[in-house]
Amino acid sequence: MAIKLMAEKKPAVDQEKVRRMDEVFIVTEDMEKEIKNALGPGPQEEILTSAFKLHITRGDIHTLENGECLNDEVINFYMNLLVERNNKKGYPALHVFSTFFYPKLKHGGYCSVKRWTQGIKLFEKEIILIPIHQKVHWSLIVIDLRKQSIIYLDSMGQTGQSICKILDPLEWKRYSMTSKEIPQQLNGSDCGIFTCQYADYISRDQPLTFSQQHMPIFRKRMVWEILHSHLL
Protein backbone atom coordinates (compact mmCIF):
# COMPACT_ATOMS: atom_id res chain seq x y z
CA MET A 1 0.00 0.00 0.00
CA ALA A 2 1.42 3.36 -1.02
CA ILE A 3 1.84 5.99 1.67
CA LYS A 4 0.93 9.46 0.43
CA LEU A 5 3.06 12.30 1.72
CA MET A 6 2.37 15.83 0.65
CA ALA A 7 4.76 18.76 1.03
CA GLU A 8 3.37 22.22 1.58
CA LYS A 9 3.41 24.14 -1.70
CA LYS A 10 5.62 27.19 -2.02
CA PRO A 11 5.23 30.05 -4.49
CA ALA A 12 6.77 29.50 -7.90
CA VAL A 13 10.41 30.47 -8.33
CA ASP A 14 10.75 34.23 -8.77
CA GLN A 15 11.38 35.20 -12.37
CA GLU A 16 14.50 37.21 -11.49
CA LYS A 17 16.01 33.98 -10.20
CA VAL A 18 15.55 32.30 -13.60
CA ARG A 19 18.89 32.69 -15.33
CA ARG A 20 18.86 33.35 -19.06
CA MET A 21 21.13 31.06 -21.03
CA ASP A 22 23.17 33.94 -22.45
CA GLU A 23 23.81 35.21 -18.92
CA VAL A 24 24.74 31.81 -17.49
CA PHE A 25 27.82 31.47 -19.64
CA ILE A 26 29.52 34.80 -18.91
CA VAL A 27 32.98 34.57 -17.33
CA THR A 28 34.66 37.93 -16.82
CA GLU A 29 38.36 38.65 -17.30
CA ASP A 30 38.92 38.89 -13.55
CA MET A 31 37.15 35.58 -13.03
CA GLU A 32 39.32 34.00 -15.73
CA LYS A 33 42.48 35.09 -13.91
CA GLU A 34 41.28 33.67 -10.61
CA ILE A 35 40.21 30.42 -12.23
CA LYS A 36 43.53 30.08 -14.06
CA ASN A 37 45.43 30.60 -10.82
CA ALA A 38 43.41 27.92 -9.00
CA LEU A 39 43.97 25.47 -11.85
CA GLY A 40 47.66 26.34 -12.04
CA PRO A 41 50.66 24.66 -10.41
CA GLY A 42 50.97 24.45 -6.65
CA PRO A 43 50.82 21.96 -3.78
CA GLN A 44 47.97 19.55 -4.47
CA GLU A 45 47.13 19.38 -0.77
CA GLU A 46 46.85 23.19 -0.43
CA ILE A 47 43.39 24.10 0.88
CA LEU A 48 41.84 26.76 -1.36
CA THR A 49 38.45 27.08 0.32
CA SER A 50 36.45 25.70 3.24
CA ALA A 51 32.74 25.66 4.04
CA PHE A 52 30.03 23.24 5.17
CA LYS A 53 32.69 21.43 7.24
CA LEU A 54 34.38 20.53 3.94
CA HIS A 55 37.82 21.50 2.66
CA ILE A 56 38.62 21.85 -1.04
CA THR A 57 42.26 21.47 -2.04
CA ARG A 58 44.04 22.52 -5.20
CA GLY A 59 44.00 18.86 -6.20
CA ASP A 60 40.22 18.80 -5.83
CA ILE A 61 39.87 21.94 -7.94
CA HIS A 62 42.06 20.35 -10.62
CA THR A 63 39.32 17.75 -11.18
CA LEU A 64 37.39 20.65 -12.76
CA GLU A 65 39.94 20.95 -15.56
CA ASN A 66 38.68 19.92 -19.00
CA GLY A 67 38.94 16.17 -19.47
CA GLU A 68 39.09 15.38 -15.74
CA CYS A 69 36.46 13.51 -13.71
CA LEU A 70 34.99 15.18 -10.62
CA ASN A 71 35.65 13.68 -7.20
CA ASP A 72 33.36 13.34 -4.18
CA GLU A 73 34.72 16.46 -2.51
CA VAL A 74 33.82 18.76 -5.40
CA ILE A 75 30.37 17.23 -5.91
CA ASN A 76 29.51 17.37 -2.20
CA PHE A 77 30.69 20.98 -1.89
CA TYR A 78 28.68 22.06 -4.93
CA MET A 79 25.56 20.30 -3.70
CA ASN A 80 25.86 22.17 -0.41
CA LEU A 81 25.95 25.42 -2.37
CA LEU A 82 22.64 24.45 -3.96
CA VAL A 83 21.08 23.78 -0.55
CA GLU A 84 22.35 27.11 0.78
CA ARG A 85 20.86 28.96 -2.19
CA ASN A 86 17.53 27.13 -1.92
CA ASN A 87 17.17 28.21 1.70
CA LYS A 88 16.26 31.60 0.24
CA LYS A 89 12.65 32.58 -0.36
CA GLY A 90 11.23 31.58 -3.72
CA TYR A 91 13.14 28.31 -4.20
CA PRO A 92 11.86 24.77 -3.59
CA ALA A 93 12.76 23.39 -0.16
CA LEU A 94 15.81 21.24 -0.89
CA HIS A 95 17.88 18.58 0.81
CA VAL A 96 20.90 16.85 -0.73
CA PHE A 97 22.46 13.68 0.62
CA SER A 98 26.22 13.13 0.49
CA THR A 99 27.74 11.05 -2.29
CA PHE A 100 28.50 8.48 0.42
CA PHE A 101 24.81 8.02 1.31
CA TYR A 102 23.79 5.61 -1.45
CA PRO A 103 26.69 3.12 -1.06
CA LYS A 104 25.97 3.02 2.68
CA LEU A 105 22.26 2.45 2.06
CA LYS A 106 22.87 -0.17 -0.62
CA HIS A 107 25.14 -2.32 1.52
CA GLY A 108 23.71 -1.69 5.00
CA GLY A 109 20.05 -0.88 4.51
CA TYR A 110 18.10 1.96 6.11
CA CYS A 111 19.39 1.19 9.60
CA SER A 112 22.90 2.08 8.42
CA VAL A 113 21.90 5.59 7.32
CA LYS A 114 19.68 6.65 10.23
CA ARG A 115 22.27 9.14 11.42
CA TRP A 116 22.22 10.81 7.98
CA THR A 117 18.65 11.95 8.58
CA GLN A 118 18.84 12.95 12.24
CA GLY A 119 17.63 16.51 12.74
CA ILE A 120 16.41 16.77 9.15
CA LYS A 121 12.67 17.13 8.54
CA LEU A 122 12.74 15.35 5.19
CA PHE A 123 8.99 15.46 4.61
CA GLU A 124 9.05 19.24 4.89
CA LYS A 125 11.32 19.27 1.84
CA GLU A 126 10.03 19.47 -1.72
CA ILE A 127 13.05 18.04 -3.53
CA ILE A 128 15.66 15.58 -2.28
CA LEU A 129 18.76 14.95 -4.41
CA ILE A 130 21.12 11.99 -4.17
CA PRO A 131 24.32 12.00 -6.28
CA ILE A 132 25.16 8.44 -7.32
CA HIS A 133 28.75 7.29 -7.95
CA GLN A 134 29.11 3.94 -9.71
CA LYS A 135 32.83 3.24 -10.01
CA VAL A 136 33.74 5.77 -12.72
CA HIS A 137 30.35 7.31 -13.49
CA TRP A 138 28.17 9.94 -11.83
CA SER A 139 24.38 10.16 -12.05
CA LEU A 140 21.56 11.72 -10.03
CA ILE A 141 18.44 10.63 -8.17
CA VAL A 142 15.69 13.22 -7.75
CA ILE A 143 12.99 12.55 -5.15
CA ASP A 144 10.15 15.01 -5.72
CA LEU A 145 7.81 14.93 -2.73
CA ARG A 146 5.36 17.21 -4.51
CA LYS A 147 4.85 14.63 -7.27
CA GLN A 148 5.59 11.57 -5.13
CA SER A 149 8.13 10.50 -7.72
CA ILE A 150 11.68 9.17 -7.88
CA ILE A 151 13.53 10.06 -11.08
CA TYR A 152 16.93 8.84 -12.28
CA LEU A 153 19.03 11.09 -14.53
CA ASP A 154 22.06 9.67 -16.31
CA SER A 155 24.09 11.60 -18.88
CA MET A 156 25.01 8.36 -20.65
CA GLY A 157 21.43 7.17 -20.97
CA GLN A 158 21.69 4.25 -18.56
CA THR A 159 18.60 3.15 -16.64
CA GLY A 160 18.52 3.23 -12.85
CA GLN A 161 15.48 1.16 -11.95
CA SER A 162 17.41 -0.96 -9.46
CA ILE A 163 18.77 2.17 -7.75
CA CYS A 164 15.32 3.77 -7.60
CA LYS A 165 13.86 0.58 -6.14
CA ILE A 166 16.37 0.55 -3.28
CA LEU A 167 15.37 4.12 -2.44
CA ASP A 168 11.63 3.54 -2.71
CA PRO A 169 9.84 1.81 0.17
CA LEU A 170 6.70 3.84 -0.56
CA GLU A 171 5.81 2.50 -4.01
CA TRP A 172 6.07 5.93 -5.56
CA LYS A 173 6.31 6.50 -9.31
CA ARG A 174 9.79 5.46 -10.46
CA TYR A 175 11.19 6.68 -13.75
CA SER A 176 14.53 6.67 -15.56
CA MET A 177 14.74 9.59 -17.98
CA THR A 178 15.82 8.57 -21.47
CA SER A 179 18.66 10.01 -23.53
CA LYS A 180 16.09 11.91 -25.63
CA GLU A 181 14.63 13.62 -22.58
CA ILE A 182 17.75 15.05 -20.92
CA PRO A 183 21.11 16.47 -22.07
CA GLN A 184 23.70 13.77 -22.75
CA GLN A 185 27.49 13.78 -22.56
CA LEU A 186 29.53 13.09 -25.68
CA ASN A 187 32.78 12.15 -23.93
CA GLY A 188 33.95 10.01 -21.04
CA SER A 189 34.71 12.68 -18.45
CA ASP A 190 31.81 15.12 -18.07
CA CYS A 191 29.31 12.96 -16.15
CA GLY A 192 30.04 14.80 -12.89
CA ILE A 193 29.44 18.20 -14.49
CA PHE A 194 26.17 17.00 -16.00
CA THR A 195 25.12 15.62 -12.61
CA CYS A 196 25.82 18.95 -10.90
CA GLN A 197 23.96 20.90 -13.56
CA TYR A 198 20.99 18.54 -13.51
CA ALA A 199 20.88 19.23 -9.77
CA ASP A 200 21.15 23.00 -10.21
CA TYR A 201 18.43 23.31 -12.84
CA ILE A 202 16.03 20.85 -11.21
CA SER A 203 16.41 22.50 -7.80
CA ARG A 204 15.25 25.73 -9.49
CA ASP A 205 12.38 23.94 -11.28
CA GLN A 206 13.95 24.89 -14.58
CA PRO A 207 14.09 22.90 -17.85
CA LEU A 208 17.42 21.27 -18.71
CA THR A 209 18.38 23.59 -21.56
CA PHE A 210 22.16 23.04 -21.60
CA SER A 211 24.21 20.62 -23.69
CA GLN A 212 27.69 19.13 -24.09
CA GLN A 213 29.02 22.32 -25.66
CA HIS A 214 28.43 24.20 -22.42
CA MET A 215 30.52 21.91 -20.22
CA PRO A 216 33.85 23.81 -20.49
CA ILE A 217 32.24 27.04 -19.31
CA PHE A 218 30.35 25.20 -16.56
CA ARG A 219 33.68 23.83 -15.33
CA LYS A 220 35.13 27.34 -15.14
CA ARG A 221 32.11 28.74 -13.36
CA MET A 222 32.12 25.90 -10.86
CA VAL A 223 35.76 26.66 -10.02
CA TRP A 224 34.84 30.27 -9.25
CA GLU A 225 31.66 29.33 -7.38
CA ILE A 226 33.48 26.82 -5.18
CA LEU A 227 36.36 29.21 -4.46
CA HIS A 228 33.86 31.87 -3.37
CA SER A 229 31.31 29.50 -1.78
CA HIS A 230 28.70 31.34 -3.82
CA LEU A 231 26.60 30.40 -6.84
CA LEU A 232 26.51 32.82 -9.73
Question: Which domains does the chain carry?
Answer: 47-228 (3.40.395.10)
State the Cα–Cα distance between residues 82 and 137, nearest whole angstrom: 21
What proportion of the chain, given as a percentage, has pLDDT over 90?
A: 64
CB 92, CB 17: distance < 8 Å: no
State the Cα–Cα distance between residues 218 and 2, nearest whole angstrom: 39
Question: Mean of the pLDDT values across residues 216-222?
Answer: 96
State the Cα–Cα distance between residues 153 and 158, nearest whole angstrom: 8
pLDDT, tens digit, for every residue of 164-183?
777 765 556 666 788 889 99
Mean residue pLDDT across the chain: 86
CB 61, CB 223: distance < 8 Å: yes
Alpha carbon 100 to its chain's center:
13
CB 7, CB 124: distance < 8 Å: yes
State the Cα–Cα distance between residues 64 and 126, nearest whole angstrom: 30
Q: Is the model's pLDDT at 16 over the cut of 80?
A: no
pLDDT, tens digit, for every residue of 46-56?
999 999 999 99
State the Cα–Cα distance between residues 67 and 192, nearest whole angstrom: 11
Q: Give 3-state DSSP helix, strand, coil % of the chain, rounded to 5.
A: 40, 15, 45
Annotated catalytic sites, by residue?
137, 154, 191
Q: Is the model's pLDDT at 29 over the cut of 90?
A: yes
Q: Give the three-class secondary structure for 151.
A: strand
Q: Is the model's pLDDT at 116 over the cut of 50?
A: yes
Question: Mean of the pLDDT values across residues 4-17?
Answer: 42
